[in-house]
Amino acid sequence: MPKPTLARRALPVVRSEEEYPFAWYAIMPSSALRRRPRGVRRLGRDLVAFRRADGAAVIADARCPHRGADLAAGRVVNGELTCRYHGFRFRGDGSCAAVPCEGEGYRPSSRMSLSTFPTREAYGFVWLGHGPDVESLPLPVTDDTPDGTRGSVVAELTWDAPYPRVIEGQMDIHHFPFAHRPFARVGTRLDPFEVDQEGDVISFSGRLRKEDGPRDRGGLFMSMKLRFPGTLVAKLSGVVLTAFVTPVDATRTYLAFRYTHTWPLVGKLIAWLAVVSELQLIQPDDEAMLVSAGPDFDASENCYVPSDRAFLLWHKEWRSRERAALRSPQRSRSQSRQV
């Protein structure tokens, strides 16, 4: 396939949730959603997640329609989300089940309902669907994404860095011998480096070697796949790393790192050690570099090189999906409601 252009092209900063590409976004591990509701901010929205009586996950607007209290501060009673402020209860479909101050016979208006969002639970995560007809879209996982049910350990992080910059950081191979220099004693030449795209899956692999080292052995070889918008899978010496990356808002990003090792008895211990190493040795350096670049992102300010071409393909996909979101009738209706 032809190489992506290295021309400097602007990537606008996302200003509202309607501008995010339409897709499914991982918002939290399934294990993090138990008996109590959990509040999160994703895609520029304050959300609350809870479980119905049958155990199914629900994602809704965190604002109580009564007087704006944060529903994440409440509790779940018989599968109904209960506001801590006045005890109003809401069903899994968003409808209001009870208004205690008005008595059992009171029937609230349809305005007294929560906005709920398409929700799926798979691969060990709760997913938020964004955009019209999102139910028809597949989850952004690759064929080799572990299902997360065995030998897996997860860690969650939130960085003060915009989503496109964090995606670049996760897809970047040639930063390794510099950003992680204290323990990464490898060559600095990225060669060979192969990049391919099939649909919305970007596959890339490369070997970090010494300038005069062999191209087919030694050094550090890395192979990864990214399914748009932000699920990255890498296989590392028997351990599978899956990174789920989701925008919090225009300047912050949520990351969940999951290591999986399926050996009986010791697999989960190996995965736990990998997560601890990731959190102690890798991610602090990456976070420091990305945060130091500032809260705004504009690709036209960067001067890319051929070793960056994997995430240049991601930028191209993002621009295409972003334009589709901006043209969507859903966004036009949302803007009309705001006027």
CATH number of the CATH domain containing 72: 2.102.10.10
pLDDT > 90 fraction of the chain, expressed in percent and rounded: 69
Chain segment 147-194, per-residue pLDDT in tens: 877 889 999 999 999 999 999 999 999 998 998 887 767 899 999 999
Structure tokens at 18: 């309607």
Looking at 86, 103, 136, the residue that finishes a domain is: 136
Q: Which DSSP category does 103 fall into?
A: -
**Residues 164 and 306 placed together within one structural domain of the fold:** yes
Q: Kindly list the distances between the CA atom of residue 34 and the CA atoms of 51, 55, 126, 150, 298, in Å, as whole numbers in the listed order.
A: 7, 9, 12, 19, 39
- 184 and 307 assigned to the same domain: yes
Question: How many whole angstroms separate alpha carbon 96 and alpha carbon 8?
Answer: 51
Same structural domain for residues 317 and 172?
A: yes
Residue 329 pLDDT: 63
Is 316 found in the same domain as 269?
yes
Q: Is 33 exposed, middle or buried (0-12, 13-18, 19+ CB in 10 A)?
A: buried
Q: For a pLDDT cut of 70, what percent of the chain falls above it?
A: 91
The pLDDT of residue 65 is above 50: yes
196 lies in the same domain as 270 = yes
Domain C-terminal end among 136, 160, 176: 136
Confidence of residue 119 (pLDDT cuts 50, 70, 90): very high
Q: Does residue 12 carry a pLDDT above 70?
A: no
Kindly report the length of the chain.
339
Q: Has residue 338 got a pLDDT over 80?
A: no
- Distance, C-alpha 331 to centroid of its chain: 22
Is 11 part of a structural domain of the chain? no
Indicate the residue type of 37. P
| Residue 322 in this model has a pLDDT that exceeds 90 | no
Question: Last residue of a domain, which of 79, 103, 136?
Answer: 136
Do 124 and 166 fall within a single domain?
Answer: no
Mean pLDDT, range 86-101, rounded to an integer: 96
Q: Is residue 253 part of a domain?
A: yes
235 in any annotated domain: yes
Task: Let me know if residue 40 belongs to a domain.
Answer: yes
- Confidence (pLDDT) at 281: 86
Do residues 83 and 130 both lie within one domain? yes
Within this chain, do residues 162 and 280 fall inside the same structural domain, yes or no?
Answer: yes
Q: Is residue 331 part of a domain?
A: no
What is the DSSP secondary structure assignment for residue 5, as one 8-state letter? P
CA distance 220 to 175: 12
Q: What is the pTM of this model?
A: 0.88
Given a cut of 90, whether residue 16 has pLDDT beyond it is no
Tell me: do 36 and 107 sit in the same domain.
yes
Nearest one of 286, 227, 233, 282 to 260, comparing CA atoms: 233
332 in a domain, yes or no?
A: no
The string over 287-300, giving b where at least 16 C-beta atoms fall within 10 Å of a residue's C-beta and e elsewhere, is bebbeeeeeebebe
CATH number at residue 202: 3.90.380.10
Number of domains, the chain: 2
pLDDT value, residue 180: 86
Q: Which domain holds residue 78?
A: 20-136
Residue 23 has pLDDT above 90, yes or no: yes
Whether residue 305 is predicted with pLDDT greater than 80 in this model: the reply is yes
Average pLDDT over all residues of the chain: 88
User: Do 182 and 283 fall within a single domain?
Assistant: yes
**By mean pLDDT, which of 36-45, 60-69, 283-292, 328-337 is the weakest?**
328-337
Residue 146 within a domain: no
* pLDDT above 90: residue 326: no
The answer on 257 and 222 residing in a single domain is yes
Are 286 and 167 contained in the same domain? yes
Contact in structure between 256 and 241 (CB atoms under 8 Å):
no
Domain assignment present for 338: no
Mean pLDDT across the stretch 136-154?
Answer: 90
